[in-house]
Amino acid sequence: MGLKAKQLAQCTVDFDKDGKQSGYFNLPLSVHDDAWGVIRIPIAVIKNGSGPTVILEGGNHGDEYEGPIALGELIRDLDPGKVAGRLIFIPAINLPAVLQARRTSPIDDLNMNRTFPGDANGTSTQQISAFVNDALFPLGDAFLDLHSGGSSLDLMPSAVIEPVADPVQHAKNVAAVTAFDAPLVVVIDNRGDHRTATASAARAGLTVVGTEMAGGGTVSLDALDICRRGVRNVLSHLGVLPPEMATPPRHEQRLFELPGSDAFVLADDDGVFEPFHRNGTMVSRGQPAGRIHFLSHPDRKPAELAYAADGILYGRRQPGRVRPGNCCLVVASPYGGSLK
Amino acid sequence: MGLKAKQLAQCTVDFDKDGKQSGYFNLPLSVHDDAWGVIRIPIAVIKNGSGPTVILEGGNHGDEYEGPIALGELIRDLDPGKVAGRLIFIPAINLPAVLQARRTSPIDDLNMNRTFPGDANGTSTQQISAFVNDALFPLGDAFLDLHSGGSSLDLMPSAVIEPVADPVQHAKNVAAVTAFDAPLVVVIDNRGDHRTATASAARAGLTVVGTEMAGGGTVSLDALDICRRGVRNVLSHLGVLPPEMATPPRHEQRLFELPGSDAFVLADDDGVFEPFHRNGTMVSRGQPAGRIHFLSHPDRKPAELAYAADGILYGRRQPGRVRPGNCCLVVASPYGGSLK
Amino acid sequence: MGLKAKQLAQCTVDFDKDGKQSGYFNLPLSVHDDAWGVIRIPIAVIKNGSGPTVILEGGNHGDEYEGPIALGELIRDLDPGKVAGRLIFIPAINLPAVLQARRTSPIDDLNMNRTFPGDANGTSTQQISAFVNDALFPLGDAFLDLHSGGSSLDLMPSAVIEPVADPVQHAKNVAAVTAFDAPLVVVIDNRGDHRTATASAARAGLTVVGTEMAGGGTVSLDALDICRRGVRNVLSHLGVLPPEMATPPRHEQRLFELPGSDAFVLADDDGVFEPFHRNGTMVSRGQPAGRIHFLSHPDRKPAELAYAADGILYGRRQPGRVRPGNCCLVVASPYGGSLK
Amino acid sequence: MGLKAKQLAQCTVDFDKDGKQSGYFNLPLSVHDDAWGVIRIPIAVIKNGSGPTVILEGGNHGDEYEGPIALGELIRDLDPGKVAGRLIFIPAINLPAVLQARRTSPIDDLNMNRTFPGDANGTSTQQISAFVNDALFPLGDAFLDLHSGGSSLDLMPSAVIEPVADPVQHAKNVAAVTAFDAPLVVVIDNRGDHRTATASAARAGLTVVGTEMAGGGTVSLDALDICRRGVRNVLSHLGVLPPEMATPPRHEQRLFELPGSDAFVLADDDGVFEPFHRNGTMVSRGQPAGRIHFLSHPDRKPAELAYAADGILYGRRQPGRVRPGNCCLVVASPYGGSLK
Amino acid sequence: MGLKAKQLAQCTVDFDKDGKQSGYFNLPLSVHDDAWGVIRIPIAVIKNGSGPTVILEGGNHGDEYEGPIALGELIRDLDPGKVAGRLIFIPAINLPAVLQARRTSPIDDLNMNRTFPGDANGTSTQQISAFVNDALFPLGDAFLDLHSGGSSLDLMPSAVIEPVADPVQHAKNVAAVTAFDAPLVVVIDNRGDHRTATASAARAGLTVVGTEMAGGGTVSLDALDICRRGVRNVLSHLGVLPPEMATPPRHEQRLFELPGSDAFVLADDDGVFEPFHRNGTMVSRGQPAGRIHFLSHPDRKPAELAYAADGILYGRRQPGRVRPGNCCLVVASPYGGSLK
Amino acid sequence: MGLKAKQLAQCTVDFDKDGKQSGYFNLPLSVHDDAWGVIRIPIAVIKNGSGPTVILEGGNHGDEYEGPIALGELIRDLDPGKVAGRLIFIPAINLPAVLQARRTSPIDDLNMNRTFPGDANGTSTQQISAFVNDALFPLGDAFLDLHSGGSSLDLMPSAVIEPVADPVQHAKNVAAVTAFDAPLVVVIDNRGDHRTATASAARAGLTVVGTEMAGGGTVSLDALDICRRGVRNVLSHLGVLPPEMATPPRHEQRLFELPGSDAFVLADDDGVFEPFHRNGTMVSRGQPAGRIHFLSHPDRKPAELAYAADGILYGRRQPGRVRPGNCCLVVASPYGGSLK
């Protein structure tokens, strides 16, 4: 078609100005109920002196809350004088999903974290991703993408390493992720899917830190505390905040990884899932993991499921109701890769 | 319209037959996709010798699982020879809601627990309630209605007393409920609403035991264990199961009640709720209880909420997203009423 | 609440005027998209000289077509001079359902044939039923309610007898129904449900004729032919049309009845139903009737179903997809009742 | 079923206290997403000294705005010292509809103004109506129900007389309505439907004032100005506000009424409606009123519609798209009844 | 994937035949309810002698009516003998949206005016755009795209200039647009979005005329009159109709343009918007423009909005209900560009 | 974007292993209700010795059942020892559609048979198509795609030839299709659309066999019998099953083709369609084919439709309700092409 896709979003903050600004990037969306309106996505910038630029993203999925809350607090409370460099906050990046408390956008039903690098001429979610990828990533040195388990998963609070091929970038990522000081560190490759925000940021050369903070669609007191501290720890590690804003390490950093498709205990029946263990339990391949009850046929024997990997029970499905293919449990195995 | 409403449900079990039967009551439902079909609701009877009749209900709300699972296990595993009397199981009474994992029925959008005593000529949920009320309650001496918190609430696992005016019935209820041996006992009057299953059973003169077993739309390992034991404890207390099927008491029975509208901390804003305390914390009126964050406007100060009663933090809202009127927290105060 | 429900419908035809009139009864419906509009339901009257009044209803369910088509042809083509008495046509009585080709009304999700005698202050469908019951039935001597199987059922074209207690009325009904000259005559009591149009008309003392004309949501060439002739045959039998407008009998009148809940072969599994016989086959209790295939688990053995009654295979489910409780097959047994 | 329906709403204002209070009545609503929450409907009371009690309602339909805005301004701005008696404000009574900008409630799909006198054990809208009818009307001497045309109608701004049988009450209503000083006064009997708020208030003996303020789902600058002044004029007329808060009459009071079903020009085709005249034009029975265009078949001649009454063109349909039964135009005829 | 997208639409008119033809282009759409059916979009051709080809489009958005009505009248009434050249009418191009009275297509939820140049292998709307772009634009010399404000906007009736880089084409566009003789002429660049029909036609080298004719989802008597005359004026200007079919100019041609993002007054709150001025008022940057009322919290002070540009109030939002990002008002500033 | 789309599906069967395997290919789908789950699509492999690889697909549309049932039976019943080569079964390829009994996928609303060759980074249906195209077609020598008419069409049971340009491939296809031994053989080019599974398989060089087995969304006893035998006949013809598993030919092979757009009798009105002939009738161009009744306006004369081609009435629309553009009837004309 030859025509270059044009960035349509209009931004009310100036990335080059010192101090604290809170504004929006307004993405035009011409729909039945609002022909000439916009999606108005909050963005904030705190800039001071020289130093790296860190992009902090929350709300990539709209039902994950610890990150957006922690970022909002920083936006309101952080003294710009403490900053050495620039912080760009997009705490509710997938605003349509945030407003509906959904993982996916109600506008185009897309999972934003499967739309990168985006498309400036695509649907709304693709346009938002394109804005992040094309307009923000080029400004950044590091990228924090703060996820939680969402409505369907309850995960152990953890910091997440995006795997990259380049050993130097990998070492930087490992260092930044462990600086977060979460109870667990997990390498997650999203089954090799390269359409995530962190994969896209990594391709753009940024240092990347991910998280999974509890979940169940709720705000976890524990995870919120871990997240508040973790963000400051990372920013301090990156030199954008002073060392005294970090907290002393609380957790021994154990590294795990998801062992491919064996990580997942999938339902093969339609019923209600009862797990046999709590998150954090050490489990082994072949061990009974839970069972599916048939509530509409109480005389039928429940179907039993088993683990397919050795490791730690990293997460479980929140809703009791399952259908074939649903992820019931997730096991993380000790990380076998290099740390440098 | 002097025509008497006619019971349309057809039942495949014989309530007068000894032994174990598992069947259905089939409620005709003539809809677009099935003109002459039925809603087929599981029902089981275990009868042996003489003794009281106990009706055990699960799935009144379709997203509450500990009760239905525990009842299904009894249906499958209980040796009829152990029974002295009759057990009538309706473990997924609101089947349309159970199949969709919803509190309310997808057929008529009704909350079954606001439809008693039902209407045999009404909508599907009203017809189910009428079947329970008109066909089952007259057969029963006691009624167990096993609830959990559901998708929207995470409650402390507890046994629940339905308040009644008659002191003899009240004493029976208190005795049966405390026999359940839950960590907490709470008197709940549902704001005086008389349209619940337990209120209807109480009016019919049955001894009534309620529960609230965790929630969040999930299966709780702890609550499931409490529920499994509790049901057997109550049946043993009622004399339908032998004493050895009960477990020794584990919990000191502390009694609480919901102190009217002050029990509820309600949202008055549109945002994401962060609670300040865990369930089980002792709190006092006026104390800060949590706050509502405005994710679409991160520069706005969160709105703070306070408790309106002294007592124990009995439950919290599961979804982080709140709108005005949503129940964020529930406080139970020490019970001031008589126990006999 | 002592206020008497008021009939709100406004009718544009004059029931006392000779000749042919085609108009509407307009039922006010104040909804978001039309605050002061109406549901405009077609009604026609052909009146001439003296004689009985016959009410002809089609479209009680919105996806049953042979009746409405045959009635429309009469409205357009019948010479009023041929009539001795009065014909009142309501060929698309459940107009909101007819427009959407649905069994049930899209406005209140009600099955009109479960709303009689209606409620003039109720929902739209209840108001329509009340109009038929309160305004039309008092004018009538006989009532034809022309049904087909609808989207979910494919039935043998048949005339239907509404069972009544009074032997005189019963004999009149039998005579009128057999005059229809369908390939099959079936007594159907709708599981004893008294909320149907025919049950309501019978209570009002009218002679009642029902039909079931094929189905599957389609227009059957055979059934349409049977229906066109049948309506004229009945009107001729009732003396409103001259004898020469009837056709000579084509079918030996075999009478059947639905043998209670044993008539229905119900699904107990979630899958795709394959019947073993065609409609019209003589079958016997216990004989294999069909099976349910599990397309998502092709290695699972299909579940087999059996007939629960002796008789003729009267109908089958049209959609292949079934869920527990769906009516897969219907068997009609030879009628054991009196014909006079 | 002899149980008396119980009022479940809990109210945070004290009707007997002097001064200005702004609060809520909280109606419990137990739904999937909020098991123990409420619908929180704003209510305000301004009380001072002795004098009549006037109930001011807005938002009975959720897409009519002039009334709710004018009432909100009074709540915020009115000095209680100016009041002689009591004002009870329910400016967004049908809150669920207001939040969705719908005529009808999204919870039960009911038009609140067809649910009076309500049902304290019914659906949410029926419970709200019951609260107004059972808890508020007994406190009141007069009732203002401020409507606009809503999303589907664009009406001439007008004050509305609820017809009553008692001549004394009628004279009071006429006097109060004309005091409003709208450009037009119309007697509207809602086709005799007695399920409206104003009909219910009239039955309870209150003096009743209605309005229709423009519409089209928008806020009209003209109508808002008329409404702001009109409310004060009526309150002044009733003696609750001092005479100086009224404005000098601007409009000659012409009285009209809706002439039964002839008032309405109804669509009989599916297309797009083009009116031939503006609101306020004097028209006569039989005169061409507009036509319906068939956009999907541009070669088809449009269908022409005619007026069925003489009078003033009182209103038109806002959406161009029409289907059979839609109200395209409304004509008001000169009022023929008594004014005293 | 090297396969060339194939045009699937089948057209029943012959573009090369003289005289008047009214037909369809049938676009295959294989959906659940109609596996082998089509979307049947009306198209008409009036051809006579030699002269330019003008393509006249209406219904690009399905809730904008003046254009489609005016084009339908031309199709029915225009004597082919008056034509010098060829007129191709597509008066309801986005037929699925027209039938539902929606801006966007109910089939794929796309705004057709953001899908150009289309995709012959894409979704339905993309296929329609591809047909217009690939099959029609190559036949045309000029393109009229007749829009109105739609359901969400009420705009001043105006003719619209599509900005193009080439000065010759620009001069032609200006001349044709001013020939329309609307009360206002506005240059609108759709925020630089090149996915509109007019932008695509301009890229194809056609002379382009746009309009915005009132809106609010209704048929405006004034705008319809302007549109009827305007279309004939332009066709006369282009030489396809004789000069006497044009009307003498009525309006002084004032040129405006939308001043970038400052043109739009956007909501930043959730409530009901009250504007302070009527369309056509001259306003200035910083001046209060309106306010947002909080109907659910009547004691909260409304939020005030201000204009961001000097100019004429060109349009306002029709629905009172607003959410953050909604376009409340639009200001057009005097055009600063060249006219030739 | 340079990044190669990655195949994300994970497959549990080994295509190179001898014997019978039944498993899944699990396609990750990250949605609100299941962040880390999969669509689990059944796949089976039966491999033995050397010989061609045949891919057998059912469920491309989710409401077509004869193929999936016949394939499931083969998976369960076929003795691997009978096989010479490899059979790859994907009997419910569009599993999301199969579970909902829809032609199109409920996840992305796409018709899978308009998505080939698919997109490994696209929506779910596009990913499934890409798996079939990219992972399976390269393994295959022949491809059977077993369709029926679906919910909207009732077709004569027939085997279908995919037209290809290469005469050698065409001859192979004709031979394989006629080996199926259906009552009718039809060449169908899907209006030239190259996005079907069979077109894609043909481009990949496979021998291709299609079917259309009755329809109406039901399981046809006749068609199921034809399909069961036909699949074995083709496999035998291809040499993968022994000759004795084929049945002797029952049908004379008459070849037909769809004669372009003239094949389809399309509705041009909104009403209920009555056909004049049964499937299988020989008809001719211009002959009356049926009519559309206007049930809401019974006094309006029905609109008559005529055939546009000579040939056999190949199929009819199942639902009576039609709207403009719906395919009412399909005519197949004698095949004029070469057979070799």
Query: In this structure, are residues D115 and D127 in contact, taking their beta carbons and an 8 Å threshold?
Result: no
Q: Which residues of D touch F300 (CB under 8 A)?
A: none
* Contact between chains at F327 and E36 (C-beta distance less than 8 A): yes
- The pLDDT assigned to D337 comes to 81
Residues of chain C with pLDDT under 50: 1-2
Chain C residues interacting with chain A (CB cutoff of 8 angstroms): 268, 270, 296-297, 324
* CA-derived radius of gyration, chain D: 21
Q: What CATH number does the domain containing A220 carry?
A: 3.40.630.10
- The pLDDT assigned to E8 comes to 77
* Contact between chains at C153 and B39 (C-beta distance less than 8 A): no
Instruction: Give which of D221, D41, D63, D56 is closest to D148, Cα–Cα.
Output: D63
Instruction: Give, in degrees to the nearest 5, the angle at Cα F332 between F329 and F337.
Output: 155
Amino acid at A222: D
| Boundary residue ending a domain (E232, E253, E274) | E253
Nearest to F34 among A117, A152, A261 (CB): A152
Q: Which residues of F touch D324 (CB under 8 A)?
A: 296
Which site among C261, C268, C269 would you substitute to test the B interface, given the most B Cβ atoms closer than 10 Å to its Cβ? C261
Task: Characterize F59-78 residue by residue with b for buried, 16 or more Cβ atoms within 10 angstroms of its Cβ, and e for exposed.
Answer: bbbbbbbbbbbbbbbbbeeb
The reply to whether F228 and F153 lie within a common domain is yes
**Where residue B6 falls among pLDDT bands split at 50, 70, 90?**
low
Compute the mean pLDDT over every residue in chain A, rounded to the nearest whole number.
Answer: 96
- A53 by Cβ neighbours in 10 Å (0-12 / 13-18 / 19+) ranks as buried
pTM: 0.96
Q: Which chains touch D (3 or more CB pairs under 8 A)?
A: B, C, E, F
Query: In this structure, are residues C35 and D62 in contact, taking their beta carbons and an 8 Å threshold?
Result: no
| Boundary residue ending a domain (A256, A279, A294) | A256
Query: Could you tell me if residue D27 is inside a domain?
Result: yes
Amino acid at C13: V
Domain region containing A314: 259-334
> What is each CA distance from E176 to E75, E147, E179, E232, E256, in whole angstroms?
21, 16, 5, 11, 16
Query: Could you tell me if residue F4 is inside a domain?
Result: no
Q: Which residues of B touch D36 (CB under 8 A)?
A: 152-153, 264, 327, 330
* CA-derived radius of gyration, chain A: 21
Q: Would you state the torsion angle of the CA atoms of residues F14, F18, F24, F26, taken in this order, to the nearest 10 degrees?
A: 10
The reply to whether C114 and C245 lie within a common domain is yes
**Cα distance between residue B33 and residue B37, in whole Å:** 9
* Contact between chains at A324 and C270 (C-beta distance less than 8 A): no
Query: Could you tell me if residue A1 is inside a domain?
Result: no
Q: How far is A33 from chain C (nearest CA, A)?
A: 15
* Contact between chains at F35 and A150 (C-beta distance less than 8 A): yes
> What is each CA distance from C59 to B35, C101, D235, E251, in whole angstroms?
15, 10, 52, 56
The reply to whether A101 and A26 lie within a common domain is yes
Q: How far is D287 from chain F (nearest CA, A)?
A: 24
Q: Which residues of C touch B35 (CB under 8 A)?
A: 61, 103, 149-150, 152-153, 327
The reply to whether F236 and F301 lie within a common domain is no
- The pLDDT assigned to B7 comes to 67
The reply to whether C192 and C276 lie within a common domain is no
Query: In this structure, are residues E205 and E53 in contact, taking their beta carbons and an 8 Å threshold?
Result: no
Q: Which chains touch F (3 or more CB pairs under 8 A)?
A: A, C, D, E
- The pLDDT assigned to E2 comes to 43
Instruction: Give, in degrees to the nearest 5, the angle at Cα B197 between B191 and B201.
Output: 110
**Cα distance between residue F273 and residue F285, in whole Å:** 19
Query: Residue D253's CB: how many other CB atoms inside 10 A?
Result: 17
Q: Report the domain count for chain A.
A: 2
**Cα distance between residue C189 and residue C196, in whole Å:** 10
Instruction: Give which of F85, F234, F251, F255 is closest to F172, Cα–Cα.
Output: F234
**Cα distance between residue A148 and residue A158, in whole Å:** 9
Query: Could you tell me if residue C339 is inside a domain?
Result: no
According to DSSP, the residues that pair with B43 across neighbouring strands are B23
Query: In this structure, are residues D99 and D42 in contact, taking their beta carbons and an 8 Å threshold?
Result: no
Query: Could you tell me if residue F340 is inside a domain?
Result: no
Query: Could you tell me if residue B2 is inside a domain?
Result: no
Nearest to F92 among C76, C218, C296 (CB): C296
Q: Which residues of A touch C324 (CB under 8 A)?
A: 296
Instruction: Give which of D68, D66, D64, D67 is closest to D42, Cα–Cα.
Output: D68
Task: Characterize B172-191 residue by residue with b for buried, 16 or more Cβ atoms within 10 angstroms of its Cβ, and e for exposed.
Answer: bbbbbbbbbbbbbbbbbebb
Query: In this structure, are residues F297 and C42 in contact, taking their beta carbons and an 8 Å threshold?
Result: yes
Residues of chain D with pLDDT under 70: 1-7, 339-340
Query: Is residue F7 predicted with pLDDT exceeding 70?
Result: no
The reply to whether D282 and D133 lie within a common domain is no
**Cα distance between residue C105 and residue B32, in whole Å:** 10
* Contact between chains at B65 and A91 (C-beta distance less than 8 A): no
**Cα distance between residue D89 and residue D15, in whole Å:** 11
Nearest CA in chain C to A296: C324
The reply to whether E140 and E50 lie within a common domain is yes
- The pLDDT assigned to B168 comes to 97
- The pLDDT assigned to D8 comes to 77
**Cα distance between residue A247 and residue B128, in whole Å:** 58
Nearest to B35 among C153, C266, C325 (CB): C153
Nearest CA in chain C to A325: C296
The reply to whether E199 and E286 lie within a common domain is no
Query: Is residue F171 predicted with pLDDT exceeding 70?
Result: yes
Nearest CA in chain F to E11: F261
The reply to whether A83 and A219 lie within a common domain is yes
Query: In this structure, are residues D72 and D111 in contact, taking their beta carbons and an 8 Å threshold?
Result: no
Q: What CATH number does the domain containing D264 carry?
A: 2.40.50.100
Instruction: Give residue-wise pLDDT tens across range A166-197.
Output: 999 999 999 999 999 999 999 999 888 999 99
Instruction: Give residue-wise pLDDT tens across range A263-322.
Output: 999 999 999 999 999 999 999 999 999 999 999 999 999 999 999 999 999 999 999 999
**What contacts F9, CB < 8 A, 6 or more positions away?**
F25, F26, F27, F28, F127, F131, F135
Query: Could you tell me if residue A132 is inside a domain?
Result: yes
- The pLDDT assigned to F4 comes to 58
Query: In this structure, are residues C248 and C283 in contact, taking their beta carbons and an 8 Å threshold?
Result: no
> What is the rounded average pLDDT of the residues B116-124?
95
Nearest to C296 among A296, A297, A324 (CB): A324
| Boundary residue ending a domain (F211, F235, F253) | F253
Q: Which residues of A touch B68 (CB under 8 A)?
A: 272, 293, 295, 298
* Contact between chains at D324 and F296 (C-beta distance less than 8 A): yes
Q: Which residues of F touch A102 (CB under 8 A)?
A: 32
The reply to whether F293 and F174 lie within a common domain is no
Nearest to D31 among B104, B149, B266 (CB): B104
Sheet holding A321-322, edge to edge: A303-306, A288-293, A271-275, A321-322
Nearest CA in chain D to B116: D1
- The pLDDT assigned to C254 comes to 86
Query: Could you tell me if residue D4 is inside a domain?
Result: no
Residues of chain E with pLDDT under 70: 1-7, 339-340
Q: Which residues of E touch D92 (CB under 8 A)?
A: 295-296, 298
The reply to whether D289 and D204 lie within a common domain is no
Locate E138 and state its tokens: 């190559």
Query: Residue F52's CB: how many other CB atoms inside 10 A?
Result: 17
Sheet holding F271-275, edge to edge: F303-306, F288-293, F271-275, F321-322
Q: What ipTM is given for this predicted complex?
A: 0.96
The reply to whether F112 and F242 lie within a common domain is yes
Query: Is residue B3 predicted with pLDDT exceeding 70?
Result: no
Compute the mean pLDDT over every residue in chain D, rounded to the nearest whole number.
Answer: 96
**Where residue F340 falls among pLDDT bands split at 50, 70, 90?**
low
**Where residue F192 falls among pLDDT bands split at 50, 70, 90?**
confident
**What contacts E227, CB < 8 A, 6 or more positions away?**
E66, E67, E69, E70, E146, E157, E211, E213
Chain A residues interacting with chain F (CB cutoff of 8 angstroms): 61, 63, 102-104, 109, 111, 113-114, 117, 149-153, 191-195, 261, 264, 266, 268, 317, 319, 324-327, 330
